[in-house]
Structure 1
Amino acid sequence: MIQLSILDQVPIPKNHTASETLHQSVELAQLAEQWGYKRYWFAEHHSTKGLASTAPEIMMAHTAARTKTIRVGSGGVLLPQYSPFKVAETFLQLEALYPGRIDLGVGRSPGGTMKTRLALTDSIKKSMTEFPRQLQDLAYYLSGPLPSDHPYYGIKAAPFVPSPPPVWELGLGENSARQAASLGMGYVFGHFIHPDRGQGAYKAYYSSFIPSPLLKQPAGITAIFVICGESDEHAEELALSQDLWLLSVEKGLDSRIPGLEEARSYSFSQADKEKIKTNRKRMVIGSPQTVKRQLESLAERYRTDEFMVLTNLYSFEERKKSYKRLADVFS
């Protein structure tokens, strides 16, 4: 049985404010809970005017306080920029407030330009090669004592909770999959970024998984763009704004989501059209039955039964309807 979750980058449409977009995210999480979605995760992006989720931990606490059962999480904390100890204590704090509802998703992404990275670390130059060690330390802080030869041996992350929140590594290929498996963590494959490496990543993850105090059985989630329209034609129409938005982001232009009128009137070059064709591999677009068929096929290919969906449309009403149609077709 396929399970559905949401990954929210909190994309800001043109002519809208960050404040109203953030409040819409909370509304969407409340609706997602009613519709049967399993998780609602917030991304972490910095120094961009088009994505309002810069502090997923704050959005998690705010959203968990306004929902009752849906799991809330980060998708994901940019671990290379932070202290594993601080991340562990932040999420233990959340787990103590909302027991059994917190997910800790972490990623290796630098989070922006070198200047942005240095601003995040207050000019401390951190090496991306430290990520495996940081991930291991995070697991130690959450699930048990540090080894006796660790430089911080004796330190314990607090507050103490009966069960730590599960940790999920966000990745794009075999290396991240093996790393997650070796530490007994869940794995989230970013199909919405690099769709061509999913089968290899999941094969590596499932074949090398080692149970841990954090996770007894392997668990995979596929993050993917989905637009579920009334019909295939309607979904294609809605997708125009997402197509243009992705093009703009990749060109380093306006990162806010354009309206449909702007997208309809935009003069796409041949190179743009080729890029859109390539980008479509990162998403599923169509009627409820078309989307259901394609996601079921992908689930079989990837050997995973949970999809974490991104639907970045200009219209909040159309965005809600897409998520509702998707939930209905799998209910």
Structure 2
Amino acid sequence: MKLSVLDQSPISRGSSPEQAIKNTLKLADITEELGYKRYWVAEHHNTNGLASVSPEILIARIASHTNTIRVGSGGVLLPQYSPFKVAENFKMLEAMFPGRIDLGIGRSPGGSQDTRMALLDSINKSMSEFPRQLRDLQGFLHNTLPADHRYRLVKAAPRTKTVPPMWVLGLSERGAANAAEIGAGFVFGHFISPDKGQAAMETYREKFQPSPDFWQPISAVCIFVVCADTKEEAEELALSQDKWLLNVGKGSDIKVPSIEEVKKRTFRQDELDVIRKNRNRTVIGTPEQVKQELNRLGDHYQTDEFMIITNIYDFDAKVHSYRLLAEAFGL
């Protein structure tokens, strides 16, 4: 089993964006030493609780701070951007850190309609263009645009010897098909919506077409994990993530709350139902319990790589969770 990291640079209540970024850099150093394969950073906009808004900038900082771990985006929200410019950004990163960069692509609008239009500078662009944008991005990266393409003579620079492989992040069979048809890697977002995961992974394997990036299907599953020395401790640490996820669903303040703050809160039955449902997106327990469940899910999804996301209040406990997991799997 290979383990990787997805980091949204969450901001804990009472902390700051600056500290969240420092924590991201520290966690990247630690997980590299522990043997994690990749360290990906997210893209979120118009939020007070997640500091990672520009994966390209953060990737450059993390890659210069580390030595061997692959660094990538989870993911660049392509519907809001030019495929040509994304290709140039990541070829530049590849030129600086050859063989260490992953280009993960997401289809999300990036937030509310107003947020998306601000990203697009009020230019109306259809989300249905995503498959075409993926093909164009791949063409710019590998200089393989078809002869009749409008921008065939436009070359993405710098013209590096190697190109960062493309991955598509998805939650459904549609997302899996988008990845498969261009021969990209596929990351299923179990941490967002696990319901359609098995069907999505099967679709990806069935429809995969070899490409300059990958000659056979390669996939990973992203999942919330909270690991501690005892089950009781893990459950307590997860309380902050439970409340955070509840707030994310409501679109309210999404700074990660402390355990003490959560314990003081009285929850309505409908909120408890949401928290209980959200636990399906998470694995919580001791190292042995978490390992057993990830192995089970690995068989379920037919994958040998998990991207771990842990959004709890206490950073030291978060680091300990990643450390216990690495030791359990013998990274």
Structure 1 length-normalised TM: 0.99
CA distance in 1 between partners of 2:202 and 2:243 (Å): 33
Matched ranges for 1:147-226 at <5 A? 147-226=146-225
CA distance in 2 between partners of 1:251 and 1:208 (Å): 36
Matched ranges for 1:273-284 at <5 A? 273-284=272-283
Alpha-carbon deviation of 1:179?
1.4
CA distance in 2 between partners of 1:312 and 1:262 (Å): 15
**What residue number does 2:297 align with?**
298
Instruction: Read off the aligned partner of 2:240 and give its amino acid letter.
Output: S
- Is 1:27 aligned to residue 26 of structure 2? yes
For structure 2, the 5+ residue unaligned runs are none
3-state SS in 1 of match to 2:3: strand
Q: Does the CA contact (< 8 Å) of 1:225 and 1:311 recur in 2?
A: yes
Pairs aligned (count): 330
CA distance in 1 between partners of 2:302 and 2:251 (Å): 35
Alpha-carbon deviation of 1:144?
2.6
| Over 3 Å off, 4+ runs | none
CA distance in 2 between partners of 1:260 and 1:304 (Å): 33
- Is 1:117 aligned to residue 116 of structure 2? yes
CA distance in 2 between partners of 1:252 and 1:39 (Å): 29
CA distance in 2 between partners of 1:160 and 1:276 (Å): 48
CA distance in 2 between partners of 1:201 and 1:113 (Å): 26
CA distance in 2 between partners of 1:87 and 1:252 (Å): 28
CA distance in 1 between partners of 2:36 and 2:265 (Å): 35
Alpha-carbon deviation of 1:162?
1.6
Instruction: Read off the aligned partner of 2:217 and give its amino acid letter.
Output: P
**What residue number does 1:39 align with?**
38
**What residue number does 1:253 align with?**
252
For structure 1, the 5+ residue unaligned runs are none
CA distance in 1 between partners of 2:248 and 2:280 (Å): 17
Q: Does the CA contact (< 8 Å) of 2:103 and 2:165 recur in 1?
A: yes
Instruction: Read off the aligned partner of 1:202 and give its amino acid letter.
Output: M
Q: Does the CA contact (< 8 Å) of 1:146 and 1:155 recur in 2?
A: no
CA distance in 2 between partners of 1:313 and 1:34 (Å): 21
CA distance in 2 between partners of 1:20 and 1:252 (Å): 23
Identity of aligned residues (%): 55
CA distance in 2 between partners of 1:329 and 1:141 (Å): 41
CA distance in 2 between partners of 1:16 and 1:139 (Å): 39
**What residue number does 1:64 align with?**
63
Q: Does the CA contact (< 8 Å) of 1:145 and 1:154 recur in 2?
A: no
Alpha-carbon deviation of 1:119?
0.7
Deviations 1:213-257 (A, max 9, x none): 111121001000000111111110100000011111111221100
Matched ranges for 1:230-241 at <5 A? 230-241=229-240
**What residue number does 1:55 align with?**
54
CA distance in 1 between partners of 2:225 and 2:289 (Å): 11
**What residue number does 2:269 align with?**
270
**What residue number does 2:107 align with?**
108
Instruction: Read off the aligned partner of 1:48 and give its amino acid letter.
Output: T
CA distance in 2 between partners of 1:26 and 1:212 (Å): 33
Instruction: Read off the aligned partner of 1:180 and give its amino acid letter.
Output: A
Deviations 1:147-172 (A, max 9, x none): 11111121111111122100000000
Alpha-carbon deviation of 1:143?
1.5
Deviations 1:21-73 (A, max 9, x none): 10110000000000000000000000101000000011100010010000000
CA distance in 1 between partners of 2:135 and 2:15 (Å): 41
Q: Does the CA contact (< 8 Å) of 2:138 and 2:144 recur in 1?
A: no
3-state SS in 2 of match to 1:274: helix
**Could you tell which deviates more after superposition, 215-224 or 144-153?**
144-153
